[in-house]
């Protein structure tokens, strides 16, 4: 099926959780029907906005999986943006850290057998972190945005923007009081993905 891509179109609607949202259609990933840029709040500082790059996670966001922090991280990010004057959320509609949804199913099955999220992706032949953030950097520059504050623990996101001309000041985004699955995830992210996550969150 060929999807019509109305890139750059916008709409505004009210969210029961986060109030007025303005959503723009864009294409940053291989998702055939596009990705989203979401503008939250009425007082966004476009000279130095707060930004969150979030990848879709169907298992957590739709089916409430307790195996990862994705859904709760999205809530945390949206709440933070609202409480701090507003900001921009990039919602990437390509699951599995750039591997795709079918690869996510296979990788998750291996994780249920005891392998971590890094190992599972290596075992099925995909990159543990396969996303590119170049197109997001180009989008920001097209809006004359070269300095951002970004909600992330992921150095790949920071590097992926900085090498394409965006100055990034990171802001940590970590769940408190995690379940054992998320503690295991945080341990793997810290030790194998080099995320900036203190041991106190997974020891």
Q: Which tens digits make up the pLDDT trace of 168-201? A: 999 999 998 899 999 999 999 999 999 999 999 9
Domain for residue 63, yes or no?
Answer: yes
What is the predicted pLDDT for the residue at 2? 67
Give the CATH number for residue 175: 3.40.50.10990
In this prediction, residue 124 carries a pLDDT of 95
**pLDDT at residue 135, rounded to an integer:** 97
Q: Could you tell me if residue 202 is inside a domain? A: no
**85 pLDDT tier (thresholds 50, 70, 90):** very high
**32, 17, 94, 18: which is closest to 57 by C-alpha?**
94
* 11 Cβ contact partners less than 8 Å away, ≥ 6 residues apart: 22, 23
pTM of the model: 0.95
Work out how many domains the chain is built from and give that number: 1
Q: Are 49 and 40 in contact (CB under 8 A)?
A: no
The candidate with the shortest Cα–Cα distance to 85, out of 145, 37, 44, is: 44
Tens of pLDDT, residues 36-81:
999 999 889 999 999 999 999 999 999 999 989 999 999 999 999 9
User: Which residues constitute the domain of residue 181?
Assistant: 10-195
CA-only gyration radius of the chain, Å: 17
- 1 found inside a domain: no
Whether 74 maps to a domain, the answer reads yes
Reported as a single tens digit per residue, the pLDDT across 102-149 is: 999 999 999 999 999 999 999 999 999 989 999 999 999 999 999 999
């Amino acid at each position: 099926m060929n999807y019509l891509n109305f890139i750059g179109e916008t709409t505004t609607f009210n969210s029961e959780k986060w109030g007025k949202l303005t959503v723009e259609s864009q294409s940053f990933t291989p998702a055939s029907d596009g990705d989203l840029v979401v503008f939250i709040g009425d007082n966004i500082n476009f000279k130095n906005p707060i930004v969150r790059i979030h990848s879709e996670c169907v298992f957590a966001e739709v089916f409430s999986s307790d195996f990862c922090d994705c859904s709760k991280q999205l809530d945390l990010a949206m709440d933070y943006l609202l409480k701090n004057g507003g900001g921009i959320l990039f919602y990437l509609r390509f699951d599995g850290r750039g591997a795709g949804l079918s690869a996510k199913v296979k990788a998750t099955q291996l994780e249920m057998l005891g392998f971590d999220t890094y190992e599972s992706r290596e075992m099925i032949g995909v990159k543990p972190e396969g996303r590119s953030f170049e197109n997001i950097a180009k989008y920001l520059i097209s809006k004359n945005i070269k300095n951002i504050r970004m909600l992330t623990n992921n150095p790949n996101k920071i590097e992926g923007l900085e090498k394409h001309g965006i100055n990034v000041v990171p802001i940590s985004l970590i769940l408190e009081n995690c379940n054992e699955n998320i503690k295991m995830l945080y341990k793997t992210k810290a030790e194998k993905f080099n995320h900036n996550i203190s041991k106190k969150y997974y020891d």
